[in-house]
Amino acid sequence: MDCLTIGGVVLKSRLLIGTGKFSSNKTMTEAIKAADAQVVTMALRRVDLNGREENILQHIPENCILLPNTSGARNAEEAIRIARLARAMGCGNWVKIEVISDNKYLLPDNYETIKATEALVKEGFIVLPYMSPDLMVAKILAEVGAVAVMPLGAPIGSNRGIKTKELIQILIEEINVPIIVDAGIGKPSEAAEAMEMGAEAVLVNTAIATAQDSIKMAQAFSLAVKAGRLAYLAKVGLEKKLAEASSPLTGFLYEGEEK
Amino acid sequence: MIINGKEGSFETGITIKELLMKLELNEKIVVIEINHKIVPKKQYSSFVLNEGDKVEIVSFMAGG
């Protein structure tokens, strides 16, 4: 049985989903179900004391694993603070480290991510760091105890696809913890591409949340991730420069004819 | 005391539980930090707030 195990949990889905940018809570709930996703990310923020903000937890299906992110953190110290607050909610000890001080491309700070990962692993968290694909950084993250490494395909929300393909390929080959492509995946075919390469899972948010029909798109992504994984396990054939006929080269109807 | 970055006027000696009731917040879905220390939920009825305390009330929101 081909399953992905993270933090001791056997996951039933290799599609992780974010909860941001949905047009409504109802749509978000239905999309999570349509995606057949099990791991769901969310952010931690100050409560709006003036507003009537609904609690997001009541809109997440019961059997989901919560993966709070440390978005808003500009350095390791802030990420650690957010992670501890998230754990204090009492819904688990998984955390996605997201340390960003670049407001233009939202590219993560790999070095602060390493510091936060090391500290939080020591405090008993199940840590999944979001990072910019770099082999040495990925090695260190795995060494300090990250349960998976999450390299970006392209900037958050950009829907540009797996622009960092070759670097991710290197991580898949060299790193001995699951590689989960997170950020930039814009189409189901790109999710399938990541899975065919050998990524263990993908995390998708914007592409589903901002699609015209989020529920259909969630379904499409679910199928794409399954297809990509199957293709990876089936081992795709080699690419060739020249053609190689698929139909027999003998028994042609014109054989023996005068030219 | 400062609550979520803004000056709040609540009587000194109020407990966290009482503060949340005044703010109409469900204690199950928030986490409270007082002066940079997280207060365990089981202490909400007994933890007393003082003038000058810096209170952070956070919750999970939509995010990627």
Q: Three-state SS for A156? A: coil
* Range of lowest pLDDT (A95-99, A112-116, B48-52): B48-52
Dump pLDDT digits (tens) for A10-55: 999 999 999 999 999 999 999 999 999 999 999 999 999 887 777 8
At A11 the three-state DSSP class reads strand
Within a domain: residue A82? Answer: yes
- Could you read off the pLDDT of A239-249 as tens digits, one per residue? 888 888 889 88
Mutate to test the interface with A, among B30, B38, B58 (most CBs of A within 10 A): B58
**A145 φ, ψ to 5°?**
110, 15
pLDDT at A250: 87
- Minimum mean pLDDT range among A154-168, A171-185, A209-223, A224-238: A224-238
Give mean pLDDT, residues A220-243.
91
Within a domain: B20? yes
Catalytic residue among A21, A26, A33, A96: A96
Query: Would you say how long chain A is, in residues?
Result: 259
**A71 pLDDT more than 80:** yes
In this predicted structure, which of A48-57, A67-76, A127-136, A174-183 has the lowest mean pLDDT?
A: A48-57
| Helix, strand and coil percent figures for chain B, each rounded to 5 | 20, 35, 45
Number of folded domains that form chain B:
1
B24 within some domain? yes
Overall domain count for chain A: 1
Distance CA(A32)–CA(A15), nearest Å, equals 10
- The closest alpha carbon to B31, from A3, A45, A180, A149, belongs to A45
Name the residue facing B58 among A21, A47, A157 (closest C-beta). A47
Assess if residue A122 is contained within a domain: yes
Domain of B26 in residue numbering reads as 2-59
Q: Is residue A234 part of a domain?
A: yes
A206 vs B contacts (CB less than 8 Å): 64
Average pLDDT, chain A: 95
Average pLDDT over residues A203-232: 98
The reply to whether A157 sits in an annotated binding site is yes
Residues B9-41: tens digit of each pLDDT: 888 899 999 999 999 999 999 999 999 999 999
Task: Identify all chain A residues contacting B64, using CB atoms and an 8 Å cutoff.
Answer: 18-21, 41, 43, 69, 71, 156-157, 183, 203, 205-206
Report the run of H or E that residue A18 belongs to, with start and end: strand A15-18
Mean pLDDT of A202-213: 98
A168 in a domain, yes or no?
Answer: yes
The CATH number for B48's domain is 3.10.20.30
Identify the band that residue A259 occupies on the pLDDT scale cut at 50, 70 and 90: low
- pLDDT for the residue A70: 98
Contact B4 A68 (CB under 8 A): no
Which residues of chain A does B34 touch, with a Cβ-Cβ cutoff of 8 Å? none
- Residue B16 located in a structural domain: yes
Q: Tell me the CATH number at A212.
A: 3.20.20.70
- Is A230 part of any domain? yes
**Residue A240: what pLDDT?**
83
Tell me, yes or no, if A96 is annotated catalytic.
Answer: yes
B64 falls within a domain: no
Is A252's pLDDT higher than 90?
no
Q: How does strand A15-18 pair with strand A39-46? A: parallel
Give the pLDDT mean for A60-70. 97
Checking if the pLDDT of A134 tops 80, the result is: yes
Domain assignment of residue A259, yes or no: no
B2 touches chain A (CB under 8 A): no
What local confidence, expressed as pLDDT, does residue A249 receive?
A: 86
Q: Do A47 and B64 touch (CB under 8 A)?
A: no
**Neighbouring-strand partners of residue A4:** A11
Hey, is the C-beta of B7 within 8 angstroms of any chain A C-beta?
no
Q: Which domain holds residue A47?
A: 4-254
Within-domain flag for A169:
yes
pLDDT (tens digit, 9 = 90+) per residue, A160-205? 999 999 999 999 999 999 999 999 999 999 999 999 999 999 999 9
Average pLDDT over residues A223-242: 90
DSSP 8-class letter at A134? -
- Among candidates A169, A107, A111, which has minimal Cα distance to A141? A111
Is B22 among the domain residues?
A: yes
* pTM score above 0.80: yes
